[in-house]
Amino acid sequence: MLHDTYQTLTKKNKVLIRKAFDFAVEAHKDQRRKTGEPYVYHPIAVAKTVANEIGLGTNSIVAALLHDVVEDTDYTFDDIEQLFGKTVAKIVNGLTKISRLKKETDVSIQAENFRKMLLTLNDDVRVILIKIADRLHNMQTLDSMREEKQVKTASETLYIYAPLAHRLGLYNIKTELEDLGLKFTENEVYTDILNKLSESKEDQEKYIEEFSNSIKQSLDKEGIKYQIKGRTKSIFSIRKKMRNQEVSFDEVYDKFAVRIVYESSLKDEKFNAWKIYSIVTDHYSPNPSRLRDWITHPKTTGYESLHTTVMGPHGKWVEIQIRSERMNEIAEKGYAAHFRYKHGNVNESGLEEWLNKLKESLENSDVNALDFVEQFKLNLYAKEIYVFTPRGDIKSLPKGSTVIDFAFAIHSEVGMHCRGAKVNGKLVHFSYQLQSGDQIEIITSNSQKPKLAWLEIVKTARAKSRIKSILKNEQKIIAKEGKEILSRKLRHLKIPFNETTTNELVNFLKLKTSFDLYFRIGNGSIENQQLKKYAANRSNAFMNFFKTRMRRGTKNPKLVQTSDEVSTNFDMLVFGSDEERLKYKFAKCCTPIPGDKVFGFITINEGIKVHKNDCPNSVSMQSQYAYRIISAKWIDSTQYGFKVTLRLMGIDDLGLVSKVTKIISNNLNVNIKKLNISGEEGFFEGKITVDVKNNKQLSILIKQLKKIEGIEKVERIIN
């Protein structure tokens, strides 16, 4: 079992492992698996993976052998601790907690379970690694389970365990989990691709031999010791490409890659990689857009390799992977191999040190579990770019990241107060997508705060979670103020402020929770006129009936929700990058509803028609009439501002512009979009475009501007 383990095992270690093995055999002696084999085969298989594939040490191997003992037998954690020590007992306890999580097919509950599982990182990071090994063996023996159990387990594996194995650099395990997951969720597809790969195997081997023969002489001449191997893409990745590109199996042109693995000292690895690249491209023309250098800048998972795509024999594109033996082992077996080469045969502390970084993802426990998992997975699979700080330090970010992502990657405080950014010395918009090699300088201001619109811009889970947390705290403060304001206004209307009144108002205003009500009162989006209308209706017969129904339904939890999440109404459709409110009609071909992902199509006679993104006519319109397409999205009108242009006139005065911008930005937290003020012979006139939340905020802004010495007139320009 232990012949390929990465760790150095002393005689004492081996005795302890043998003791655990004997204990597991005894504990499970009367149990059998669904396959009919003795149950102890399972913990032995898990321990083998832990030792040989993942590369963990003695405590992990022992815990793997014992991981089901407490769950399935009469032995307790105290027994484990007494016989094998506190560390092993702690790991076994973590594994038992995971196995006792409620097993559900519901995706949101799976997501919550995933987060709970990651919380075991705070106990011991080895728990999750052993759990992945446990899941691998369960998938390998899933044939013996009934069909509904197979589908459920395979779906959970694809949703949770394969992405996690990917993030931990366990590529061999990740690939096997994905293929097995596909086998039990889409068996016909899996079998079809497997059979076609088997049929084409002989042709593939001939092609690789033909390709290799052309470069072998040149490699031998340089004295390079190497192996050339063909690597077939996994069944899962071929299926993914067929689906994403909407092509058949035969149309997937890069079903295999050629891998050149060379021997090299650590010092010469990079030099030799580029030497081999030069030899390959002397024989075959490279595709310049397909060069990937993960040797100079390894992936955050530790992956190192040089990739290129060349035009091979018979006009076929071939992906070439060039890597040393060390790089190849890391690529296949993950961080255990990485730390073995970096530190020698050390204990698990090196691996643990890296894995502890995952805890950062758990800091914001308020994030919705489903969002948490989707953000986590987004960051797992995202391609990486490499950018620089003003001092020249390099940072790795997912492809598509913006300057705000970069700001939060530097520090949460930098992200919170980011008011602008320079990329390569030039000012850019917040939505600017960073490119590898960019050098970014973040401009901060203590008065700046995150905006809701930032959530649509950022890519990384770190930035999203920080922004949501900050906005949520701000919403709580506004809601608290709103509750006090509502109490005063109801008192003025001679209406008692209590739970019944609050629930009536929530229903009358078509909101979801009392928190929604307080928040909207606080930010001014519910005006006095609406409260007066409620007060008038309250006394009529309809309202009496409404209250009677309310009393009958007091057990309905929807009427007494106190959630601190503001409901998303999606009550307004805006168009273009400037989020303008324009007249539109819904298209009859796809009948979109508020909240759908949509786009606008500018017709010749009927103005803007709104279509769903997946409308049957979408492809035709997008391809033939792209110039008539306008982006569109649904927003919650109380959460987003709208643009207003004001005309200012008066007597020119020194520092006037400074006073205007100070009133707008500092006192009211209103965003300035455009500012144009000109003066002549002591008189000035200007236009200023701002983002305001509602009419109340606009009224306050106009009043404040009129108080500035020298300003004679402030009026709104109606476009």
Q: Which residues belong to the active site?
A: 71-72
Helix 461-492 vs helix 528-538: crossing angle, to nearest 10 = 50
Residue 301 CB-density burial (10 A; 0-12 exposed, 13-18 middle, 19+ buried): buried
Angstrom distance (rounded) from CA 112 to CA 135:
18
Amino acid residing at 14: K
CA 716 to chain centre: 42
CB 411 within 8 A of CB 442: no
Here the tokens at position 534 are 């409620």
Query: Three-state SS string across 19-49, please?
Result: HHHHHHHHHCCCCECCCCCECCHHHHHHHHH
Angstrom distance (rounded) from CA 238 to CA 78:
48
Helix (H, G, I), strand (E, B) or coil at 650: strand
Angstrom distance (rounded) from CA 330 to CA 340:
9
First to last CA, the chain: 77
Q: Residue 628, Cβ neighbours under 10 Å: how many?
A: 14
Angstrom distance (rounded) from CA 38 to CA 329:
33
Amino acid residing at 618: S
What dihedral do alpha carbons 141, 124, 341, 5 form, nearest 10°?
A: -40
CA max distance for the chain: 101
Q: Residue 449, Cβ neighbours under 10 Å: how many?
A: 15
Residue 564 CB-density burial (10 A; 0-12 exposed, 13-18 middle, 19+ buried): middle
Here the tokens at position 358 are 């995952």
Here the tokens at position 196 are 């076609």
Instruction: Name the DSSP class of 249.
Output: G
Instruction: Provide the residue count of the chain.
Output: 719
CA 225 to chain centre: 41
Q: Which residues pair with 633 in a beta bridge?
A: 574
* 306-311 vs 292-293, strand pairing mode: antiparallel
Query: Three-state SS string across 445-487, please?
Result: CCCCCCCCCHHHHCCCHHHHHHHHHHHHHHHHHHHHHHHHHHH
Angstrom distance (rounded) from CA 295 to CA 285:
21
Please list the helix, strand and coil fractions of the chain in percent, rounded to the nearest 5, in that order.
Answer: 55, 15, 30
Q: Which residues pair with 716 in a beta bridge?
A: 646
Here the tokens at position 569 are 């109404």
